Structure 1
Amino acid sequence: MNPDTAPTATAEPQTATGRVPVRAATSADAEGIVRMRSAHVLSQPLGEEWIGRCADELAPRLSPAGDARAFIVDAPDGTMAACALGLVHPMLPAPAHPRGLVARVHVVATHPDFRRRGYARAVVTALLDHLADVEGVTLFEVHAGVEAQPLYRELGFTGSPALMRMTRLEPTTTVGTPDSRPAWLPPEQYAETVPKATAFACVYFTDEDDRPLQLHSVYSPAHPWQLAGGTMDHGERPFETAVRECREETGLTVAGPPRLLAAVYGLPGAQWPYSTIGMVFDGGRLTAAQIRGIILDPQEHDEVRVLPLAEWKALMPARDFARLSAVTEARRTGEAAYFGTWDWGNE
């Protein structure tokens, strides 16, 4: 292999002490932050026109006199590896908020090449510390995805009611149509008006006697026993998510081809403002040795258990057991199940 073209490991930014080097953003970083948000946060990337408009809007707000603060980890090539952007706005003061300032964590983005290195935690921590210690902010808000909630809870955030949003645009018309009929919206504007959803994928395992295998959660009292799986990352397809999450949570590698056992859907609720879409794939039957060899992530699960289906009923909320039963029946019959009542708030 030509040494000039041989793959090399991506260098990880670190200081001499091994800490992640976080710096405060300036107005010159506005476009980079906007591009990180477009590529790694939004459900549909912005066009160049909107990237320019957003960057022009953000740049002056990142100045010392502006209302935006951001912190960045630079990649070795000079691009951004991670960033966190907060917007500060006034509110009526109160004893707990004497300066009358509230900050919303508006953007947290990490480039896929630099994930799972603590960069998101580093930039968010730097942002919160600066806003609290320097700006005097005492109230913070964030709308976090399911996969990010453990981090924000560790940083001190607690749950809140579901986010309610409304988009009101000035009426527009299209040539040749009545004035009362709105024009087609640009994709980035239309995307803001449609329902949003998060997606997850799971793997259903049994032992050689067809007894379901589940993992005991250390973070979710509402769902104490779970299938191996989790929330999709940007750019992933459902089966890729199932394979990755299973490997991270159990050390097991699921071989294809994918076999879908169930499609799951849930409406938003007080605990989460988006709909939920999930897919459960068949991981097959595990030998006793494979089950003994499972390696758990202690931050997510602390026990592996295999039981006959009927014995799971006493250990799980009714809705969780109903989903497990539907998946088990799908494995038995070979017909995928549809479980459409996985709603938030209907525990």
Structure 2
Amino acid sequence: MITPRAARPEDAAELVRLRRLMYLAMNGRDEPGSWERDAEAVARRQLVDPQARLIGFVLDGEPAGSGAAAPHLAACALGRIDERLPSPANPTGRVGFAFNVCTDPRYRGRGYARATTEALLAWFARHDIGRVDLHATDAAAPLYRGLGFAEHATPLSLDLRRRPGTVTG
């Protein structure tokens, strides 16, 4: 049985390393940069602060041979709770968002993404979160459908992206 553990602040650097691998798998480009340092600081801070509503589940990697390999994560799934205005479809207004589901290529095909995502979904259920959203790649969609996710009821989803510090109007 695969048993993920809750992510801890000291996992922040590894969570960012897996995030970078996730982006590489998604778009075929490795894009290191200052975002990694910033992401590590945010993850470390938010994993300490229960009010930040960030939760993660991870699986530790196996040591490589008899050498003193640095500890690393094999897989992770992160999530957070967003509180919106209540609605008829969601009377609490609380919505979970799953993200940063990634498995190190050395560990793929072992069910680690499923295990960490199931742990995250169980955590959401224990916290009475009835709706969980996520963005999925075509490759990951079958996993999520198998966990009960379905296409979003809103037929069109848009986002607006601005450079930080840009003011309009």
Q: TM-score, normalised by structure 2?
A: 0.81
Question: In structure 1, what is the Cα distance between the partners aligned to 2:31 and 2:42?
Answer: 15
Counterpart position of 1:149: 141
Match of 1:159 in 2: 151
Verify: 1:68 aligned to 2:54, yes or no.
yes
Distance 1:108 1:52 in 2: 19
Query: Paired residue for 1:311?
Result: none
Aligned to 2:39: 54
Q: CA deviation at 1:40?
A: 2.4
How large is the RMSD of aligned CA atoms in angstroms?
1.8
Which has the larger strand fraction? 1
Identical pairs, percent? 35
Partner residue, 2:67: none
Residue number in structure 2 paired with 1:124: 117
Rounded Cα–Cα distance in structure 2 between residues aligned with 1:60 and 1:66: 8
Which SS does the other structure have where 1:21 is aligned? Answer: coil
Q: Which residue identity is paired with 1:84?
A: A
Quote the Cα distance in structure 2 between the aligned partners of 1:47 and 1:124.
Answer: 26
Q: 1:113 maps to what in 2?
A: 106
Q: Compute the displacement of 1:45 (Å).
A: 3.5
Give, in angstroms, the shift of residue 49 of structure 1: 2.1
Which ranges of structure 1 fall in alignment gaps of 5 or more residues?
1-18, 172-347
Structure-2 residue corresponding to 1:21 = 3
Stretches of structure 2 lacking an aligned partner (at least 5 in a row): 64-70
Distance 1:165 1:39 in 2: 24
CA contact (8 A) 1:25 1:70 kept: yes
* 8 Å contact from structure 1 (residues 84, 105) kept in 2: yes
Look at both structures and tell me which one has the larger radius of gyration over its CA atoms: 1
More helix per residue: 1 or 2?
2
In structure 2, the residue matched to 1:32 is: 14
CA distance in 1, matches of 2:32, 2:140: 27
Structure 1, 34-43 or 116-125: larger mean CA deviation: 34-43
Give 1:168's aligned residue: 162
Contact conserved, 2:22 with 2:100, CA < 8 A, in 1? no
User: Once the 2 structures are TM-superposed, how far is the Cα of residue 62 of structure 1 from its aligned partner?
Assistant: 1.6
Q: 1:66 Cα deviation (Å)? A: 2.0
State whether residues 99 and 136 of structure 1, in contact with CA within 8 Å, keep that contact through their aligned partners in structure 2: no
How far did 1:162 drift? 4.6
Letter of the structure 2 residue corresponding to residue 68 of structure 1: L
- Counterpart AA for 1:80: L
**How many angstroms apart in 2 are the aligned matches of 1:45 and 1:99?**
40
> Does the CA contact (< 8 Å) of 1:96 and 1:138 recur in 2?
no
